[in-house]
Amino acid sequence: MQTVVIVSQKGGTGKTTIAIHLAVAAEQAGMPTVIIDLDPQASAAAWRDLREAEGPAVESVQPARLAATLKAAAGAGAKFALIDTPARSENAALEAIRAADIALIPCRPGFFDTAAMSFTANLLKLAGKPGFVVFSQVPQRSESLLAEVTEALQTYGLTPAPAHIHLRAAYTHAVTGGQAAQEYEPKSKAAAEISELFQWLKKKLAK
């Protein structure tokens, strides 16, 4: 079972949105998938409650139950796991990073989110795991801003993923109905960028 952690010490960066959409993408690719929801707010679990489709599974657990839950998911036939972590929780984030093959770090393109990357970068170094930044909630026509933020991230040894998650209404509409954007609007730009992110992630995991 391949395991990806979505981690950021900043709140509101889009961790759950990315976890949900990548999980649906994996299910659509024929990979039985589980989201491990470590966030006390249990947003991913709340989305699962609204959902009519059978997968992906969502398990809302305490961080102390992470290893056992991953083992049970693999034993039940899951091929892909996404760990959705809470903000401002060093211990939970570190344990989740250690349990994962790769980390994705959502980051809004702005000064405060970029400055907070140093903490997460240190956790990655401590755990010895690879991590990549995923720019989220990106405004339209922000190429110069993304270039500036990318340069700033180099000081922390972090590299952005090539696919960015933009500010799009399709994400909000889909999630409130227990769906992902690629289900709500299959031919939308939101669906295309999720597909791009998932295909890139599969290649990284294959390495």
Q: What is the DSSP string of 108-119?
A: -SSHHHHHTHHH
3-state helix, strand, coil split of the chain in percent (to 5) is 50, 15, 35
Is it the case that residue 162 has pLDDT exceeding 90? yes
The 3-class secondary structure across 23-74, one letter per residue, is: HHHHHHCCCCEEEEECCCCCHHHHHHHHCCCCCCEEEECCHHHHHHHHHHHH
Kindly state the average pLDDT of the residues 145-155: 86
The b-or-e profile of 52-82 (16+ CB within 10 A means b, else e) is eeebbbbbbeebeebeebbeebeeeebbbbb
Domain 2-206: assigned CATH number: 3.40.50.300
Distance CA 82, CA 96 (A): 10
The amino acid sitting at 199 is: Q
pLDDT for the residue 190: 97
**Structure tokens, 73:** 């998911």
Task: Read off the pLDDT of residues 173-183 as tens digits, 9 standing for 90 and up.
Answer: 999 999 999 99
Task: Read off the pLDDT of residues 71-128 as tens digits, 9 standing for 90 and up.
Answer: 999 999 999 999 999 887 778 899 999 999 999 999 988 877 887 888 899 999 999 9
- Please choose, from the candidates 3, 92, 88, 81, the residue with its C-alpha nearest in 3D space to the C-alpha of residue 44: 81
Distance CA 168, CA 166 (A): 6
Mean pLDDT estimate for the chain? 93
Domain chopping of the chain, boundaries:
2-206
Share of the chain above pLDDT 90, in %: 75
Is it the case that residue 192 has pLDDT exceeding 80? yes
Evaluate the omega torsion of the peptide bond into residue 56 and state whether it is cis, within 30 degrees of 0.
Answer: yes
pTM over 0.75: yes
Kindly state the average pLDDT of the residues 38-66: 94
Tell which wins on pLDDT, 127 or 9: 127
Task: Read off the pLDDT of residues 10-39 as tens digits, 9 standing for 90 and up.
Answer: 888 899 999 999 999 999 999 999 999 999
138: three-class secondary structure by DSSP: strand
Helix (H) or strand (E) holding 1: none
